[in-house]
Amino acid sequence: MCVAFVLPAPVWAQNKPSTAKKPPVVAQKAVKKAVNKKPGAATPQVKTKAKRLDAVQRPAVPMRASHGQLAGLHASSDPLDLRSSVALVIDQDTREVLFRKNDNAVLPIASLTKLMTGLVISEANLPMSEMITITQADVDTEKGSSSRLAVGTVLSRGDLLHLSLMSSENRAAHALGRSFPGGLDQFVKRMNMRAQALGMSDTRYVEPTGLSSRNQSSANDLAVLVGAAYKEPVLRELSTSHGREIEVGRRTLQYNNTNRLVKSANWDIGLQKTGYISEAGQCLVMQAQVSGRKLIMVFLDSAGKLSRIADAERVRRWVEKSANASGTRHSALADNQPG
């Protein structure tokens, strides 16, 4: 025999008002209209408002974490409190390391790739006046990024190189690789061969724009690349250019530098390149003269749109302060940094 006992509700639950939420006013009105509508009448208003309610209640899609975040690199602290999980500052002439942070980590490098693209083009001594047409093959199918260079646009190789380095124009960079003697595959092969020749053992390229997260390198390798690229006058000039007007058909397009520091009176920048995809975070490499020293700076996987710029400013102020303090070694912060 089975006996069921019904226990009285606990005191805290007795006479407690209902916690059920009333339907939103918008929903109540929609239901009322649906009930009172004439036979055969359509109910688009009810459906529309229901969709709006769903849209409001739908949770936001979180941003994709960078490879550095997934690897826990942002847990590394440093004396300058940089937002970049990877950083390296070296003296270009003496190779003295002034600052390092996770400089051996191999990460996606986004549009820093275009610095190698420019180096290969520059060293190939191809005619910069040769006209190249943007084709459907140059349209980004990796990330779906936009471009003001429509299919059919015809520009010189020099202009494409300029837009690639200064404004990080993806179709321009892809067209440079596609139009290289032997085609795109040969160009990417040349990029990797050049990296190996420079001793960049952590580096691998699969395409010339940086849109692929499979283009990867380390801060140490990128410092080597900056040093090699700095030897090419055309790369120094185009990468630090403030802006350029490009005639495209009947339109005049204004392109500007993606690195605001090139216009700053506080900086003397000889070469630079920015980069960003979600897998790489915000990236920046520069050659700059600070307090009479030629420095190479690398910042990878920085969190925040302007954080790479802020990190560069922190390093500049630290170097200037160290130079003004008698007996202070610039390399002091490099001694105990995580590798």
The C-alpha atoms of residue 41 and residue 59 are separated, in whole angstroms, by 34
SS3 for 34? Answer: helix
The question of whether 212 is a catalytic residue gets the answer no
From 66, 122, 167, 168, the catalytic residue: 168
DSSP letter for 204, please: B
Closest to 103 (Cα-Cα) out of 299, 313, 256 = 299
User: Are residues 80 and 333 in contact, defined by beta-carbon separation less than 8 angstroms?
Assistant: yes
Three-state helix/strand/coil letters over 7-24:
CCCCHHHCCCCCCCCCCC
Between CA 187 and CA 194, with CA 192 as vertex, the angle to 5 degrees is 90
Closest to 76 (Cα-Cα) out of 104, 98, 110 = 104
From 84, 111, 164, 239, the catalytic residue: 111
| Half-sphere exposure (Cβ direction) of 235: Cα atoms closer than 13 Å | 24
From 114, 122, 179, 307, the catalytic residue: 114
The question of whether 111 is a catalytic residue gets the answer yes
Catalytic residues: 111, 114, 168
